Homo-oligomer: A and B are copies of this chain.
Amino acid sequence: FNHWGLHISPDLDTLMYTLAGVADPDRGWGRAQESWTVLDTLSDLGGIDWFRLGDRDLAVHLERSVRMGEGETLSTVTRHLCRAFGVTATLVPPTNDEVRTMVDTTDRTLSFQEYFVRERCEPLVTGLLYQGASQATLLPEIGRSLAGDRLEAVILSPSNPYLSLDPILEIADLRHRLAASPAPVVAVSPLIQSHAFKGPTAKIMMELGFAVSTLTVAQHYADILDGIVIDPADRELSGAIADLGIKVWITDTNMANEQDKRRLAAEVISFSETIAG
């Protein structure tokens, strides 16, 4: 999204910082050992300071913006930045076109960051709009990868389905391509019973009139999912989910520490391997 006139891609950056080992583990966003000189100075000048950009983080957005201003695509810039950060995994945005998540609330329509950061998810959500998603062009390598036979699995992380995953899934014909892909598509439910790991997932599901349950999540992705990982606390949903044609893997999905994360990731991979057969 655009802030301070800069191209900012918070999710790509969080992945990049995490893989590079420079992410702030406590805050959950931005860089570790960050300083805030620019933000504090700009705040003193009466500037817009609700989106907290640290100095080191800002340098990344400046470099991205300069390169995109010169005509480079987001995917090219992302490749460059990952290389500069020593990230060996391949990170790609779903599209090089602009897609904006707009949040309809009882009062007015907010951009995602206004809703999420400035308003702290407080307004009541009445609808969501993924501006530009259907007209956007899917990154060609994603299409090739999904159609090919070298892709081992597609994993939908336990993120907010409406705020984080749908903005990607609604791009062009990505949902159809995921449904048609020979690779197993596996999700990890963001809910344990009616509680989300973090963030406003449960709150938004309620406001949108959905039952706050892993079954709702499975239904939401039913067209694309081959499997879903759910918590033992939701064991009784297994039958209903299986009826949707989705395989179920039951394991502790709560991630309290690094070890939990690695254990769950390994289980998700073995689950996807059993589905691939």
Q: Which residues of A contact B (CB under 8 A)?
A: 4-6, 35, 37-42, 44-48, 55-56, 58-60, 62-63, 65-66, 69, 80-81, 84
Chief secondary structure at chain A's binding surface = helix
- A58→B84 contact, CB < 8 A: no
Q: How far is the CA of A56 from the CA of B81 in the complex (A)?
A: 25
Residues of B within 8 A of A45 (CB): 59-60, 63, 81, 84
Please name the residue on chain B nearest to A31 by beta carbon. Answer: B41
23 A-B contact pairs sorted by A residue (CB < 8 Å): A4-B65, A5-B5, A5-B6, A5-B62, A5-B65, A35-B37, A37-B37, A37-B59, A38-B58, A40-B59, A41-B55, A41-B59, A42-B59, A42-B63, A44-B84, A45-B59, A45-B60, A45-B63, A45-B84, A46-B84, A47-B63, A47-B66, A55-B55
Residues of B within 8 A of A39 (CB): 59
Contacts known (A44-B84, A45-B81, A84-B44); A4 close to B66, Cβ less than 8 A: yes
A22 to chain B, nearest CB (A): 10
Please name the residue on chain B nearest to A44 by beta carbon. Answer: B84
- B60→A37 contact, CB < 8 A: no
Contacts known (A5-B5, A5-B69, A69-B5); A55 close to B38, Cβ less than 8 A: yes
Residues of B within 8 A of A4 (CB): 62, 65-66
Please name the residue on chain B nearest to A59 by beta carbon. Answer: B41
A91 to chain B, nearest CB (A): 15
Residues of B within 8 A of A55 (CB): 35, 37-38, 41, 55
- A56→B37 contact, CB < 8 A: yes
- B48→A66 contact, CB < 8 A: yes
Residues of B within 8 A of A38 (CB): 38, 55-56, 58-59, 62
Pick the contact of A56: B41, B46, B48, B63 (CB < 8 A): B41
Pick the contact of A47: B35, B48, B62 (CB < 8 A): B62
A200 to chain B, nearest CB (A): 28
Q: How far is the CA of A39 from the CA of B58 in the complex (A)?
A: 10
Please name the residue on chain B nearest to A83 by beta carbon. Answer: B46
